[in-house]
Structure 1
Amino acid sequence: LVPELHYGPFLRDWWYFSDSQIQDSHIYAIPIRLGFQVALKLNLIIRIVRNLENPNIPGFICEGEGINSGVLSSSSAAINTIYGRVFGNKSKTKYPGATMLGFHNPYMIQQMLNNVDFRPFTICLYGIKIFMASIPDNNNYEGFASSFMYKYKQKQSVIWQKIEGGLFSISIFQDGEMVKQFQDITASSVWDQTNLLRNCNGVDLFGINHPLVQFKFKERYERLFPKTCTLDDWNHERIMRHMFKLYLKKHVPRNEDLWHRVLYRWYNQKSTIIEIKSFICDVYNDNHEISIREFRAWRVMFEAIGCKNITPFERDISDMEFWSRAKDPKGDIETILNLFSNGLLNTKLNSTIKNNEFKNYKDTTNVFWYSLRESLDSNPNGSNGKIRILSIVAENFIYEELMENLQ
């Protein structure tokens, strides 16, 4: 897509709206892509180019086998011109350009919509069809744009409305050229300058308050700033800052970098498991005591960004909480459960060994190595084919000792 064409003053010419689509603005337009071409019968093709008389609108060429329609203003005219030359004037069949270009073919439509982030739509106010050209991803409407056709000084014109730099602007185009521009700090005041549509509300003419536009604002914002994300989004600054504002901003200390340090450290450590309270306090490193509300906010935050509480015991045993950031936490769940069941987690109330298989193990060393073997058996291979050893246990031993005792 070409931004100045498909999202500019002349967007109405660069998107295809069928009659049904115009009646139902919930169905978006299909882009008329510059350079797009379709093969027709008799080895003919039709291509989309810029119009020679007005490069701001599309032109259409149908050509092949030494025959050329020239650049015409409609696809139907280009196609029927060539077919008339091929079959002669005897053929009374008229070919609809939109259909020949594939605008009614689901497969072709899907191809034309590839990588299209925003598709314009229309609203109707005061009997005017207003084309919504841009819905920004912010709350101050910066970058919002819309256009419609109306007469200015007795001549049909394109009315281009935009919010930019905190100002509301109206630009009037005739024959592809801007003939007048107005700017002011509000929609109403800028429309007052034009002396046009004086009985209409300026905000309404921009289209900002229309229910469908407001719905699309909300829809786009929620798509760009979701309420949940995955581990893959942890390096996406915009998404993570949005998560921080949603869940933590009101509850964490004033230094906004602390939350980022917590996630950065967890993301880059080998183990996917943390004990939430001690981990956060260690990152804070300022004797900060986490309040109940702050701790609750961290819980909600972790859950929203794809983490899972894998604590294997109830709070009457300990107030410690273990969390996993693994995409598939099943292995971490089994690992932490085995460690707890075998008495290898340092909780306030140490658990007792209930597994009957431990009756033959008389000292803690044997219990430890038995438990680690169980953890390895239950912990699945990672994506690289290597077994992950829980770092909270394994990092305290040299490789030779691990291999010797786990044989």
Structure 2
Amino acid sequence: MAPTLRVTLIKPGTIVPELHYGPYSFYWWIISNENETLFPIRLGQQTKVCFNEVDFILTIQTGSGNNKLMPMYCCQSGLHVVTEPSSTKAISTAYKNRFNTSTRYSDYQAMGWNDKNILETLKQDIQHIPITVNVENCIIFIYGIGTSSREKWRYAGSGFQSSLLHMYERKQSIFVSRIEEKKCIVEIYRESALIKQFKGAMPDEVWEKTGQLKKFTGTQLYGLDNPITKNLIQQHQTQCTLNDWNDEYILERLFDYHVKRRTLANANWKYFFTSWVKTENPIIELEPALHAIYPKGYEFSERELSA
């Protein structure tokens, strides 16, 4: 029986967009045992584990060469240093080197990923949490959401990104499906490098060009047919950033969702936003600005102003 493991979080590590929201992001998130949602494997996370009154320091690093986009685990105890692709193997090897006997701990135990307090710290400063959906035995990892007015794209748009693992040329590869402006793109990665790219106007078209997973449609392989994805896109359509203020489709969706039922339908809200974005001062006086797009003498209710 393995001795009791005491874990202390030394450093929470950082979220790195190229890793956590890039082609290899699938490897940088892990499912929580607590509620089955994903949480990040943060670069630089460092924990101290202690057993037999001896400290072992575990640090998450990136690999090198063909593994430069993959997480690696460095375990150090005194002069003993071991780096492995899993924390389980790293700490087991370091333990054996130190005590000349074997033990085994799961990744969750060694990294503190089953500790609620540590998990709460690791979940901070996250841009958004990816999701996974299943298409039969394929796991689609959706790590980027973008929206558009294109019904045939299931209203996904530029910025949408998903990935799946599949064999290509008899080797395990990562297939990244993404949307960039008016193009659908599928990219194949292996050993931390892009080896093939396909472009098309539609998800079905671009996946057909790959010649892979022919029993599924491209829409399915993008993950766009799944109800979870559809709901996520719909939620995203009711939010916007400053860059979206020139997108009339997004503004109309926001107006319909937040304002339409609370105010005059013919108010020129597009003018309100485009005028605001052109001003040098990011702070405006709300009521005078609203008077410019409403009929003269119109009185605003609290309900409208809160919209």
Report the TM-score when normalising by structure 2: 0.75
Q: 2:127 aligns with which of 106, 117, 128?
A: 117
Matched, 1:62 2:72: no
Query: How far does the alpha carbon of each residue in 1:311-345 deviate from its partner, in whole angstroms, 9 at most, with x for none?
Result: xxxxxxxxxxxxxxxxxxxxxxxxxxxxxxxxxxx
Partner Cα distance (2:133, 2:208) in 1:
22
| 1:169 matched residue in structure 2 | 185
Partner Cα distance (2:209, 2:293) in 1:
56
| 2:164 matched residue in structure 1 | 148
Q: Cα gap change, 1:165/1:255 in structure 2, threshold over 3 Å: closer, same or farther?
A: closer
- What secondary structure sits across from 1:256 in the alignment? helix
% identity of equivalent residues = 23
Q: Cα gap change, 1:19/1:128 in structure 2, threshold over 3 Å: closer, same or farther?
A: farther
Partner Cα distance (1:86, 1:191) in 2:
51
- Structure 2 counterpart of 1:8, one-letter code: G
Q: Cα gap change, 1:13/1:251 in structure 2, threshold over 3 Å: closer, same or farther?
A: same
**Is the contact made by 2:55 and 2:77 (CA closer than 8 Å) also made in structure 1?**
yes
CA RMSD of aligned residues (A): 3.4
| 2:303 matched residue in structure 1 | 303
Matched, 1:213 2:229: yes
**Is the contact made by 1:51 and 1:57 (CA closer than 8 Å) also made in structure 2?**
yes
Partner Cα distance (2:99, 2:293) in 1:
81
Q: Give matches, 1:60-209, under 5 Å.
A: 60-69=73-82, 71-89=83-101, 92-136=102-146, 139-209=155-225
Which gives a bigger RCO, structure 1 or 2 (Cα 8 Å, sep 6+)?
Answer: 2
**Is the contact made by 1:30 and 1:103 (CA closer than 8 Å) also made in structure 2?**
no
Partner Cα distance (1:255, 1:131) in 2:
35
Instruction: Give the CA deviation at 1:88.
Output: 1.2
| 2:27 matched residue in structure 1 | 13
Instruction: Give the CA deviation at 1:249.
Output: 7.6
- Unaligned runs of 5+ residues in structure 1 are 22-26, 226-234, 270-278, 308-407
Instruction: Give the CA deviation at 1:253.
Output: 5.5
**Is the contact made by 1:169 and 1:190 (CA closer than 8 Å) also made in structure 2?**
yes
Partner Cα distance (2:285, 2:118) in 1:
47
| 2:248 matched residue in structure 1 | none
Instruction: Give the CA deviation at 1:200.
Output: 1.1
Partner Cα distance (1:84, 1:303) in 2:
67
Partner Cα distance (2:144, 2:205) in 1:
22
Q: Which has the larger radius of gyration?
A: 1
| 1:325 matched residue in structure 2 | none
Partner Cα distance (2:166, 2:71) in 1:
21
- Unaligned runs of 5+ residues in structure 2 are 1-14, 149-154, 246-250, 277-282
**Is the contact made by 1:28 and 1:120 (CA closer than 8 Å) also made in structure 2?**
no
Instruction: Give the CA deviation at 1:219.
Output: 3.3
**Is the contact made by 1:126 and 1:200 (CA closer than 8 Å) also made in structure 2?**
no
**Is the contact made by 1:258 and 1:284 (CA closer than 8 Å) also made in structure 2?**
no
| 1:230 matched residue in structure 2 | none
Q: Cα gap change, 1:11/1:39 in structure 2, threshold over 3 Å: closer, same or farther?
A: same
- What secondary structure sits across from 1:78 in the alignment? helix
Query: How far does the alpha carbon of each residue in 1:321-378 deviate from its partner, in whole angstroms, 9 at most, with x for none?
Result: xxxxxxxxxxxxxxxxxxxxxxxxxxxxxxxxxxxxxxxxxxxxxxxxxxxxxxxxxx
Matched, 1:45 2:63: no
Instruction: Give the CA deviation at 1:284.
Output: 7.2
